[in-house]
Amino acid sequence: MTRIVIMGAAGRMGKTLLQAVDENEQAVLAGGVVEASSSLVGVDLGELAGLGKCQVMAVDSLDALRADWDVLIDFTAPAVTLENAAWCAQQGKALVVGTTGLNNEQKAALAQAAQKVPVVFAPNMSVGVNLCFKLLEMAAAALGDDYDVEVVEMHHRHKVDAPSGTALGMGEAVARALGRDLEQVAVYGREGMTGARARETIGFATLRGGDVVGDHTVVFAAEGERVEITHKASSRMTFARGAVRAACWLKSRPAGLYSMQDVLGLN
């Protein structure tokens, strides 16, 4: 049984993660952390998630947790996640990170923590999305440089980073298969007299509005035909279930930085 702690347990994703742990027969809730200033400190986490009492109370920091747990799941913000990663590395606790918006320096810091403890880091924890990553690599390798590539994503109005981590992950999967450096070929939006499209570029279009959980489409367009690979999420539960699955898989792994591709056996 994997004993899991949820960071940001009072948030929308945090509550969904609490529910996902509850429904997974291989996992048990060992704790949940909320903001130190929150009125929810000391509240039963089961009641917080609408599951009924579970006798596990929300705490205001990782230091306030009991020591007997295995994996932390973190879907918070980059700065908070890095603080938690450093804490986990020091305390010998495994970590699953679903936080998006990390820059290259922050990703390097996460990789440094993974030298001491096992870490799963993925731009998207959905099983379906990670299957799409694999399909995109296969499609890009087969279609080659004769197809223009565009990534279109839409999320709810509250999302703070753009493009989404998933969209960037999809772009990276395509770029990797085509032998390109995404940082060199990415185009984030177009306006005005841009001129003809350069063949090697990978374009990103970002839409925000309403309560869209997450829609992603990668378009491979050539003369005479178009291939599209699409994933649409209608519930945050798909991400939460993937994260809990990753946590259960991670418990018995040695230190290292893993992806959902590793968890699903797609690498």
pTM: 0.84
* Annotation says 158 is catalytic: no
pLDDT at residue 252, as a whole number: 86
Distance (Å, rounded) from C-alpha 208 to C-alpha 155?
A: 5
Question: Measured between alpha carbons, how far is 189 from 82 in angstroms, rounded to an integer?
Answer: 30
pLDDT at residue 16, as a whole number: 96
Q: Which residue has the tokens 């809990």?
A: 244
159 is catalytic: yes
Structure confidence at residue 123 (pLDDT) = 79
Instruction: Output the pLDDT for position 66.
Output: 84
What pLDDT score does 101 carry?
A: 85
CA–CA distance, 125 with 35 (Å, rounded to integer) = 24
Q: For the chain, give the secondary structure using H, E and C.
A: CEEEEEECCCCHHHHHHHHHHHHCCCEEEEEEECCCCCCCCCCEHHHHCCCCCCCCEEECCHHHCCCCCCEEEECCCHHHHHHHHHHHHHHCCEEEECCCCCCHHHHHHHHHHCCCCEEEECCCCCHHHHHHHHHHHHHHHHHHHHCEEEEEEEECCCCCCCCCHHHHHHHHHHHHHHCCCHHHHEEECCCCCCCCCCCCCEEEEEEECCCCCEEEEEEEEECCEEEEEEEEECCCHHHHHHHHHHHHHHCCCCCEEECHHHHCCCC
Domains, the chain, in order of start with CATH, read 2-121+236-263 (3.40.50.720), 127-233 (3.30.360.10)
Give pLDDT tens digits along the chain (267 positions).
999 999 999 999 999 999 999 999 999 999 999 998 888 999 999 998 999 889 999 999 999 998 899 999 999 999 999 999 999 999 999 999 999 889 999 999 999 999 999 999 997 899 999 999 999 999 999 999 999 999 999 999 999 899 998 999 999 999 999 999 999 999 998 999 999 999 999 999 999 999 999 999 999 999 999 999 999 999 999 999 999 999 999 988 999 999 999 999 987
| Catalytic residue, candidates 107, 116, 134, 159 | 159
CA–CA gap between residue 207 and residue 35 (Å, rounded)? 30
Identified catalytic residue from 15, 93, 155, 216: 155
